[in-house]
C-alpha cells in the first residue's frame, strides 16, 4: 500500500464514519463503490473488505452518544443484530453464487431505489 492509497483509504473511512454517525447509513454505501471505482476491487472483494473493516469499530462511539441522548432501543437493536448476523452470513454465500457483473448492477440498482424512496417520500 502506497502513502497516497493510505491517505485515500483514510479519507474514505472518515467519510463513511461521518455519514454513518450522521445519517445512520451503512459504510457500504461509501466504501464499496470507492473500493471498486478507485482501487479496482471486484465487487466481491469490496463487499468482503467492507464487512471486515466494520467488525470492531463500526458503531461503538456513535452508539454511546446516541444512547446518552436516549435514542437507542436496545430490544430492537438486539433483534436486528442477531438477524443481521445471520443474514450477513447467509448473504455472503448468496453473493458468491452471483457473477461480478450482475452483483455490481444489483448493488447499484438497490442504492438508486433507496435514494429515490428517500427523496420522494413524504
Q: How confident is the model at residue 98 (pLDDT cuts 50, 70, 90)?
A: confident
Residue 45 has a pLDDT of 87
As a whole number of angstroms, the distance between CA 120 and CA 116 comes to: 6
Domain of residue 111, residue span: 3-120
With 70 as the cut, is the pLDDT of residue 81 above it?
yes
Q: Tens digit of pLDDT for each residue in 19-34? A: 766 666 666 788 888 8
Residue 7: how many CB atoms within 10 A of its CB?
Answer: 10
Q: How many domains does the chain have?
A: 1
pTM of structure: 0.63
Cell matching residue 9: 483509504
Cell matching residue 82: 442477531
Q: What is the dihedral of CA 88, 17, 33, 116, to 10 degrees?
A: 80
Residue 61: how many CB atoms within 10 A of its CB?
Answer: 10
Length of the chain: 122
Q: How confident is the model at residue 83 (pLDDT cuts 50, 70, 90)?
A: confident
Rounded mean pLDDT, 39-49? 85
Amino acid at each position: 500500500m502506497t502513502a497516497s492509497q493510505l491517505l485515500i483509504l483514510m479519507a474514505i473511512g472518515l467519510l463513511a464514519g461521518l455519514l454513518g454517525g450522521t445519517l445512520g447509513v451503512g459504510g457500504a454505501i461509501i466504501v464499496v463503490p470507492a473500493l471498486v471505482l478507485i482501487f479496482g476491487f471486484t465487487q466481491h472483494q469490496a463487499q468482503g473488505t467492507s464487512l471486515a473493516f466494520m467488525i470492531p469499530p463500526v458503531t461503538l462511539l456513535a452508539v454511546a452518544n446516541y444512547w446518552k441522548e436516549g435514542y437507542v432501543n436496545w430490544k430492537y437493536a438486539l433483534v436486528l443484530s442477531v438477524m443481521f448476523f445471520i443474514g450477513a452470513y447467509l448473504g455472503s454465500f448468496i453473493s458468491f453464487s452471483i457473477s461480478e457483473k450482475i452483483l455490481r448492477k444489483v448493488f447499484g440498482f438497490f442504492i438508486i431505489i433507496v435514494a429515490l424512496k428517500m427523496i420522494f417520500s413524504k
